[in-house]
Amino acid sequence: MIPGSGAPVPARMRPSDAYLDLIADTLDGMESNARAQFLQRLFITLAHVEIPESQASPLWDEVVTRKRFLSERTESSVSLLTALFDVLSNAGMLRVPVVLEFEELKQLHRTAVTDPLTGLQNRRRFDETFDKELNRARRYAHSLSLVILDLHRFKEVNDRYGHPRGDEVLHAAASTLNKTLRTSDSAFRIGGDEFALILPQTDSAQASALSRRIGVVFAEILRSLNLDISVSMDHGVSTYPQDGDQRAQLIRISDERLYRSKHANHRKTGIEPAQEPPPAPANLTEARPEADLPSAPVVATPVPEPAIAVAPDVVPEPPPTSKPASNIETAPPPPIPQISPLQQSPPAFPLAAPEPQLYAVPRKAERVSMAGTNAYAVLGDDSSHRARVVDLGFGGVALDFPNVTGLSDTLFAVLHVPILPPVRVNLKRLWSRQLTDDTVRVGCCFIS
């Protein structure tokens, strides 16, 4: 229905939209020459663009096709006027400003830079963003990390379960990235099962730590899909300026590291690293720096109370022919000096024991040092009660306190560290060490 001269027009409807819809229906029945002449004048009236008669009809057909495409992509009705301006703009034919509804223009831009399946930004947007962030990193002398990820065994999911199931895996990957990134980071789908992250002001160690965390979160999300195929997310990292200062160079290095890592990991075992269950709460070595070992080294085994990997303070001296007591099957260690820790001057613990005796479970992920950052933890509900985060791993965290008076063995904390959003955790104290008169370092593991 065409609004009459006195009829009110709905707030969200322009009269030109209604007339153009009527024109589109009428043009199909017109003779070709008359149709071309009419369209030539229509383009001049609407957009102040002069189109030769021979090009007027093909251009109108392109506008109609563009309207249909945009309507399908946005799942809403895009007007012919919007489609016309989009076609003319992409062809560089607009010479004067054209007024569109802001919401339509915003939706048009969103469609152009968004991957319709996952909702992540697309390859076109990736190229634009990478150039912008690389220029900013050069200007302010900041680090910038690029992470390229892909899904291992994704093709097998499509082949066995079909593409709809594969789409669910892609949705899970997108959900993982949205959950784990900071607001300053950007995630993109750049290929079928390939994704990219742009991480401003992020060095290589931080980018690698984030990538490993993404793999663990992705494995957790995939459990709800009940797949028989172990899909995992592999990654390769490159960082400006250490690995290069050009976009193509950084992308190439990330790709090379991605595939080297993928082939190395999946040759060694059929179980991808990302599919390993989360470390047990008693994996005590995840967040402890080597220099911060407690007086009595703790065995990282999932038991209710920390086990001791060396002899306790008071033990009967073994016969000269006996071997040191140990429940850890490792290569025979060198002889431990037969001196009771109580008879030694501080520090009162044996230093000659080799490192294999200190850990019963291999580390599943490296610790990430927070040195030089403003990482901190807020303890309990009191925002003024804080501790500095020394380092962080999947198993636990090391914190520096002014003092530990009144600090309970279990506590609730919110961790504020680079790369990650604020993380709410429950902690259990495992060891503490007085560093200075006003600093005590405490090692904690994560508990459910």
Examine the domain organization and report whether 395 and 439 are in the same domain.
yes
244 φ/ψ angles, rounded to the nearest 5 degrees: 145, 170
pLDDT of residue 6: 44
Task: Evaluate whether residue 304 is within a structural domain.
Answer: no
Q: How far apart are the C-alpha atoms of 378 and 198, rounded to whole Å?
A: 28
pLDDT of residue 166: 92
Domain stops at, among 357, 376, 391: 357
Beta bridge partners of 307: 299
Examine the domain organization and report whether 127 and 109 are in the same domain.
no
Q: How far apart are the C-alpha atoms of 291 and 390, rounded to whole Å?
A: 12
Token pair, residue 52, equals 């030769």
pLDDT in tens, 210-259: 999 999 999 999 998 888 898 999 999 999 999 999 999 999 999 999 98
CB 70 within 8 A of CB 86: yes
Task: Evaluate whether residue 79 is within a structural domain.
Answer: yes
CB 432 within 8 A of CB 439: no
Examine the domain organization and report whether 109 and 20 are in the same domain.
yes
Examine the domain organization and report whether 27 and 98 are in the same domain.
yes
Q: How far apart are the C-alpha atoms of 442 and 401, rounded to whole Å?
A: 7
Examine the domain organization and report whether 143 and 216 are in the same domain.
yes
pLDDT in tens, 197-213: 999 999 999 999 999 99
pLDDT of residue 183: 86
Task: Evaluate whether residue 78 is within a structural domain.
Answer: yes
Examine the domain organization and report whether 337 and 373 are in the same domain.
no
Examine the domain organization and report whether 94 and 134 are in the same domain.
no
pLDDT of residue 28: 73
Q: What is the mean pLDDT of residues 393-418?
A: 85
Computed over every residue of the chain, the mean pLDDT equals 75
Examine the domain organization and report whether 96 and 159 are in the same domain.
no
Examine the domain organization and report whether 374 and 428 are in the same domain.
yes
Examine the domain organization and report whether 386 and 414 are in the same domain.
yes
Query: Terminus-to-terminus CA distance in the chain, angstroms?
Result: 63
- Using DSSP's 3-state secondary structure scheme, residue 395 falls into coil
Identify the CA nearest to 306 among candidates 347, 379, 359: 359
Residue 366: pLDDT band by 50, 70, 90 thresholds? low
Identify the CA nearest to 363 among candidates 310, 258, 262, 284: 284
pTM recorded for the entire structure:
0.44
Max Cα–Cα distance, the chain, nearest Å: 112
- Look at 6-10, 36-40, 281-285 and tell me which has the smallest mean pLDDT: 281-285
- Look at 121-135, 190-204, 312-326, 412-426 and tell me which has the smallest mean pLDDT: 312-326
245: number of Cβ within 10 Å: 13
Pick the more confident residue, 384 or 167.
167
Identify the CA nearest to 199 among candidates 238, 248, 233: 238
Task: Evaluate whether residue 298 is within a structural domain.
Answer: no
Residue 101: pLDDT band by 50, 70, 90 thresholds? low
How far is Cα of residue 302 from the mean position of the Cα atoms in its chain? 29
Written as one letter, the residue type at 200 is P
The CATH number for 197's domain is 3.30.70.270
Task: Evaluate whether residue 29 is within a structural domain.
Answer: yes
- Using DSSP's 3-state secondary structure scheme, residue 35 falls into helix
Pick the more confident residue, 223 or 30.
223
Task: Evaluate whether residue 6 is within a structural domain.
Answer: no
Token pair, residue 150, equals 């892909």
Examine the domain organization and report whether 44 and 145 are in the same domain.
no
Examine the domain organization and report whether 241 and 104 are in the same domain.
no
Task: Give the structural domain span for 42.
Answer: 15-113
Task: Evaluate whether residue 76 is within a structural domain.
Answer: yes
pLDDT of residue 278: 43
The CATH number for 415's domain is 2.40.10.220
Q: How many domains does the chain have?
A: 4
